[in-house]
Amino acid sequence: MYENIKFEVNEGIGTVTINRPKAMNALNMDVLTELYDVFTKIESDDEVKAVILTGEGKAFVAGADIAQMHKLNPIGGRQMMMLGHKVMNLIENIEKPVIAAVNGFALGGGCELAMACDIRIASEKAKFGQPEVGLGIIPGFGGTQRLARLVGKGMAKYLIMTAEMIGADEAYRIGLCEKVAAPEELLSVAEKVARTIASKAPIAIATAKTAINNGFDMDMKSASKFEIETFTAAFSSEDKTEGMGAFLEKRAPEFKNR
C-alpha cells in the first residue's frame, strides 16, 4: 500500500491522486518512488486503459519538497533530480494515455509533472508556474525542455526567468493546458476525455503516442519515416480489421485490450 498516493481503477480508468495535502502534495523522494511504482504497475495492467493524475486538496503539486531539498548536498540533489526524471520519462513514455487533472497549484516539479502527461485539463482555480529561480535553482525534472517544447522558447524563458504564476486561462492561451473546467467538474471532464480515448483502439492510441513523442524531436524526414513504421504496426493489428470492419458493417467496434 502507498502512504502518499491513492490509486483506484474504475471501469478501465485508473486514477492516481497525490495525497500529501498538508505539504501541498510536494514531491519528496517517497512520493516520487511511489509514483514510479504505481506507473510501472499501470504499464502492465491490462485492466487500465487510461489514467488520470490529480492532487488532493488545494494543490496539484506545489513542486519538489523544498524542506527535503534544503538538506541535500549536490549528490543528493542530483539523485533526487534523476529519480524525478525517471518518473517523468515513465509517464511520458508509458503506452497508455495519461491525463493530468490540474486541480490547483502546479508549480516547479508540479508543473513539470503535468507537462510529462499527455493532456492537461485545468481547473479554473489552477495556477501554473516555474518558481525555481527564486530558490536559487532551475527546473530539474525536465521543465527547461518540456516547457519550451510545449509553449515555445520565448514563453518558456519568460515563465522560468520571471517565475510568474499564471492562471488556467493564460495557461490555456499559451498551450500549457488543453482544456479548462469548473473546479467541481474537473474530474468528470477528465474522466469523459479518458473514456473517449479508452473507447478507441488501444494499439492505435499507444502507437500515436509513440509516434508523436519520438517524432517530435527528430527532423521531419526521420519523423516521417518513423510515422510510416509506427503506422505499419497499427495497420497490422487486429484492431485495424475490427475498426474498419465495424465501420463497414455499421456497428460499434470491439477492440482488444492491448
Binding site for ligand HXC (CB under 6 A): 23-24, 26, 62-67, 80-81, 84, 105, 107-109, 131-132, 135, 139-141
In the bound complex, what is the minimum distance in angstroms from residue 93's beta carbon to ligand HXC? 19
Q: Is 132 a catalytic residue?
A: yes
- Taking the least distance from each CB to ligand HXC, the nearer of 97 and 140 is 140
What residues contact residue 174 under an 8 Å CB cut-off, 6+ apart?
151, 155, 166
In the bound complex, what is the minimum distance in angstroms from residue 159's beta carbon to ligand HXC? 13
How far, in Å, CA of 149 to CA of 192, rounded? 27
In the bound complex, what is the minimum distance in angstroms from residue 167's beta carbon to ligand HXC? 13
- Taking the least distance from each CB to ligand HXC, the nearer of 107 and 166 is 107
How far, in Å, CA of 190 to CA of 244, rounded? 28
What single string gives the DSSP state of each residue in 131-161?
-GGGGT----SSHHHHHHHHH-HHHHHHHHH
Angstrom distances, CA of residue 7 to CA of 52, 172, 216: 10, 28, 31
Of the residues 132, 184, 238, 249, only one is catalytic, namely 132
In the bound complex, what is the minimum distance in angstroms from residue 34's beta carbon to ligand HXC? 16
Q: Which residues pair with 15 in a beta bridge?
A: 8, 52
- Taking the least distance from each CB to ligand HXC, the nearer of 9 and 72 is 72
How far, in Å, CA of 151 to CA of 53, rounded? 21
CB atoms within 10 A of CB 251: 9
- Taking the least distance from each CB to ligand HXC, the nearer of 29 and 223 is 29
Of the residues 34, 56, 95, 112, only one is catalytic, namely 112
CB atoms within 10 A of CB 232: 10
CB atoms within 10 A of CB 160: 20
How far, in Å, CA of 105 to CA of 125, rounded? 8
In the bound complex, what is the minimum distance in angstroms from residue 109's beta carbon to ligand HXC? 3
- Taking the least distance from each CB to ligand HXC, the nearer of 157 and 225 is 157
- Taking the least distance from each CB to ligand HXC, the nearer of 14 and 55 is 55
Q: Is 43 a catalytic residue?
A: no
In the bound complex, what is the minimum distance in angstroms from residue 131's beta carbon to ligand HXC? 4
Whether 109 and 64 have beta carbons less than 8 Å apart is answered as: yes
Whether 77 and 91 have beta carbons less than 8 Å apart is answered as: no
Place of cell 490555456: 172
List the catalytic residues: 112, 132
